[in-house]
Amino acid sequence: MSEASSMPLIENKPAVPKEFNKIARRYDLATFLNQGYASDLRLSVERMGLQGDEKVLDLCCGTGKSTRPCLEALPKGHVIGVDFSEGMLEMAKANLSEKFGERVEFQLQDAMNLDFPEASFDAIFMAYGIRNMSDPEACLRQLYRLLKPGGQICFHEYSLADRWYARPYWLVLGYGFVVPFCTVLTGTSRIFRYLIKSVDRFLRPSAFLKALDAAGFVRTTAQPLRSWRAPILHTFRAYKPEA
């Protein structure tokens, strides 16, 4: 085993996509049994208020769980789903390509080094992805470049609320339920132990809004998701200024 492969994932984020390859075929089952997973993604997309004809980048699209609500909101639009896990993209194509045809395409790309021209997209949606980036601030600057002037970006992301109880709540939920439950379903605990640590280390909502401001975005907002997810899961929205 190489030194890099034996490192904890939290210290070796470029290895995260390969770990998702290992659970790709069981990932949808795990999320299906997660109460509210699909409806939460749909709510974040609804909060974007898309007009229906935009070109949207769904970044870190995984098996297409986030791509589906984007497509449903864009009857005349087009979605490009991007992920750096071959296994997850295979599942996304199997789940959505036949139903949505030419309105969707999937590409294998590194979210830290995207191969798109400047101002390519009307909107960008990124679910459960920005905290996995090796340099989130650099990623934000890149996404700013890819948006058209006036375009919107939306992050559907775990970010512990600026409240004293949010962190212990997450740790109990994560190590008490998420890790053991998902380990049984997928046969591995590594990616889920990483999940708990990555959320714990990620920016709190107020700090992430400041990072968006620093990258040049305007009209930045954070909205919690519903019920038991409110202390831990948020919709972040921001805009690139008009030209």
What pLDDT score was predicted for residue 208? 98
Per the structure block, which two tokens stand in for 230?
A: 């409110």
Q: Global pTM?
A: 0.94
Q: Rounded to whole angstroms, what are the CA distances from 228 to 2, 42, 192, 225?
A: 40, 17, 19, 8
* Dihedral of the alpha carbons of 168, 128, 54, 123, in degrees to the nearest 10: 70
Burial of 167 (0-12, 13-18, 19+ CB in 10 A): middle
Rounded CA gap, 226 and 144, in Å?
28
Low-confidence ranges of the chain (pLDDT < 70): 1-7, 29, 32-33, 35
Antiparallel, parallel or unpaired: β 233-239 and 218-224: antiparallel
pLDDT at 96: 97
Total domains in the chain come to 1
pLDDT in tens, 89-100: 999 999 999 999
Residue 3, pLDDT score:
40
Domain, as residue range, for 116:
3-239
For residue range 29-75, what is the model confidence (pLDDT) as tens digits? 677 667 688 999 999 999 999 999 999 999 999 999 999 999 999 99
| Residue 160: CATH number of its domain | 3.40.50.150
pLDDT at position 2, please? Answer: 40
| CA-to-CA dists, residue 196 to 9, 19, 83, angstroms | 11, 15, 21
